Amino acid sequence: AQTVTQSQPEMSVQEAETVTLSCTYDTSENNYYLFWYKQPPSRQMILVIRQEAYKQQNATENRFSVNFQKAAKSFSLKISDSQLGDTAMYFCAFNTGNQFYFGTGTSLTVIP
């Protein structure tokens, strides 16, 4: 079965600090893609960062980076220099073939 687990339903971080959101997944596939999506309150879901499973180098996008551990099936998101606009629900997901599998989400609050 393809599953995604986000064990932290809620997290908070002080503005300008660093926070890490955890994600583990399970799949028997060898080729897949991993994603972190952000859903701000009452706003559209947008892609934060993407990682290709065959690439060992961790993806980075400005203040967002991932720690991808393929053997452990772990894909955590690090947000540096947290900003108030980072307050959102964050979903970890992976894709194989035509289907995407999402975790249950982590609600992140950035505290001024």
Cα 37 to the chain's mean position, in Å? 6
Please identify, among the stretches 12-20, 21-29, 69-77, 100-108, the one whose residues bind other proteins according to the rule CB under 8 A: 100-108
CB burial string 44-56: b at 16+ within 10 A, e below: eeeebbebebeee
User: Which residues have CB under 8 Å from 84's CB, separation 6+?
Assistant: 15, 110, 112
Q: Which CB atom, from 35 or from 68, has the smaller least distance to other proteins? A: 35
> Binding pattern to other proteins, positions 17-56, x when CB under 8 A?
----------------x-x-x-----xxxxx--x------
Residue 98 interacts with other proteins (CB under 8 A)?
yes
Cα separation, 80 vs 62, whole angstroms: 9
Beta-bridge partner residues of 93: 35, 102
Q: Which of 66, 103, 108, 110 binds other proteins (CB under 8 A)?
A: 103
List residues binding other proteins (CB under 8 A): 4, 6, 9, 33, 35, 37, 43-47, 50, 91, 93, 95, 98-100, 102-105
